[in-house]
Amino acid sequence: MTRLLREMERKTQQQRSFARGALLFSALQQWQFWAIAGVVVVLFGLCWWLRKRSQQPDSSSEEESSSSDSEQVQDEGGEFEDHLLFSEMYIHWPVQNRVSECVTVKDLVDNFMLVFRSLLLNSLFPELQSAIGLGSAFEGWSPCEEDVIYHVLVPMKPPRSHTFHLELWDAGETMARNFRIRVEQKCTCMRERLVGDVPCFLHHPEEEQRRNEKHSLLDTLCTGFYLDAQKTARWFHLLVRSAWVLLPQASSFRLKMLPCSRSCKFQLTRPDQKRIIIEILSGVQQGDSDIFVTSQSTEAIFTPSTMWPESYAVAEVKFFQHVAQQAPRDTFHLKCLQVCAHILVGIDISTYTLKTVVMHLLNTLPLGGWNRREVMMRLQDIMEYLCACLEEKRLNHFFFGNENMPEEIILPPALQMAEPHNIFQHLVHDPEAHAKALHEFNELKSRLVRLLLCGH
């Protein structure tokens, strides 16, 4: 009987221990469930709060000073830094697939150049050089939803017995450098006497030569002695229409010429109705540098047809090519720039401003730090750099007086020796524009936080 009582007591204790273990395991399961549920609720609540905050009207008055906006930017810096610690798995990177179209555009324009050179052989029109792709599409960072126009520059050299002289245009109060291209005939009497292959158009007395001059560069593409951008654009327009039927792409694309006063713009439509818009810009190289004067449009209301703005687009493409050659394979600098461009829709801060910020950072930070693991830190660096520039009302142009320029980028001496050019100069004397820029920066930062947290 004693042995049976002891056995029953032992079994009772085992049952009690098992019951306590089962109860503890059940409680642990519930704790894990509610912990996970709590995290999910917090995340959804944060996303809802951000959406609600973005939809609320701005309660601040329009007369709020730029100094208060600056303090707000600084106060929210810690909040932004905390958000950047969130896992990058929530980022839906903008998809980009421009490489094949860039190749298509480049092949097409190269074919155009072959036909153009054949049509212009032994003429007195400019000699057309190999085309150069420009802009975000050829640099590799344009957002996927952007209606991309593929910009292509065709450099021009003077025909035989002619020269191009670049004369700096008096730009007045504007900071942009604009030029005129003076076309001059040069004497080739010595070559005519020694070789005989090129007559001296400057001193040739025959009537036949004077008749030929009616179709010369000066009579066709110039206004006075200066190359005319609008006349040059119409000339390219006629060349494209004439050469199109000779191209192999004519059998698979449909060509439509588009109106444009200072460049040659056209649209190609594939059989699947996919459209590609190409804009051919003409330009003249400054010496042997990577800086050109081009026929691109300016922000001015009226741009004289003989004015050619200075362009740094070729140097920018070369800079990104330099970075691609020096950086590790998993470098995410283009993704960072692409994300920043993606969230700029509806904001007056330009993509060129963010592009300038990224170029400065690429030129100062180690390229190995732009990998996937540190992409959040680089996005934060971009925002902090832009914030500091807006507060100081100063963002230096990348190519003016930059002592850290890579050796691969060739600049004219005038740019190398120039004082730094302030892209934010307009904010210095315009408090309202400065306050608006700071307010838009806060909106830009909020958009980036939403992208990191919610993926859109």
* Burial of 191 (C-beta count, 10 Å sphere; 0-12/13-18/19+): middle
Window from 90-104, 166-180, 227-241, 413-427 with minimum mean pLDDT = 90-104
Find residue 183's DSSP bridge partners.
Answer: 164
Most confident by average pLDDT, 38-42, 126-130, 294-298: 126-130
Q: How far apart are CA 186 and CA 209, in angstroms?
A: 15
Number of H-type helices and E-type strands within the chain: 16, 12
pLDDT at 60 exceeding the cut of 80: no
Window from 274-278, 335-339, 351-355, 396-400 with minimum mean pLDDT = 335-339
Encode 416-446: b = buried (16+ Cβ within 10 Å), e = exposed. Answer: eebeebbbbeebeeeeebbbbbbbbbbebbb
Could you tell me which residue, 125 or 96, shows the higher pLDDT?
125
Find residue 284's DSSP bridge partners.
Answer: 293
What pLDDT sits at residue 433? 94
The answer to whether 456 and 450 have CB atoms below 8 angstroms apart is yes
What pLDDT sits at residue 160? 80
Triad 282, 264, 304: Cα angle to 5°: 65
pLDDT at 293 exceeding the cut of 80: yes
What pLDDT sits at residue 30? 45
Indicate the Cα dihedral angle 122, 124, 125, 126, nearest 10°.
90
Give mean pLDDT, residues 10-36: 46
pLDDT at 76 exceeding the cut of 50: no
Q: How far apart are CA 200 and CA 219, in angstroms?
A: 17
Could you tell me which residue, 413 or 60, shows the higher pLDDT?
413
Measured CA to CA in angstroms, residue 338 lies from 39, 46, 173, 453 at distances of 31, 25, 33, 18
> What domains does the chain contain, in order, with CATH numbers?
63-92+312-456 (1.10.1410), 97-311 (3.30.460.90)
Most confident by average pLDDT, 141-145, 231-235, 325-329, 348-352: 231-235
The answer to whether 229 and 309 have CB atoms below 8 angstroms apart is no
pTM exceeds 0.85, yes or no: no
What the block records as the tokens of 329 is: 């394979």
What pLDDT sits at residue 10? 60
SS3 category, 107: helix
Dump the DSSP string for 358-398.
HHHHHHHS-GGGGSGGGHHHHHHHHHHHHHHHHHHT--B-T
pLDDT at 383 exceeding the cut of 90: yes
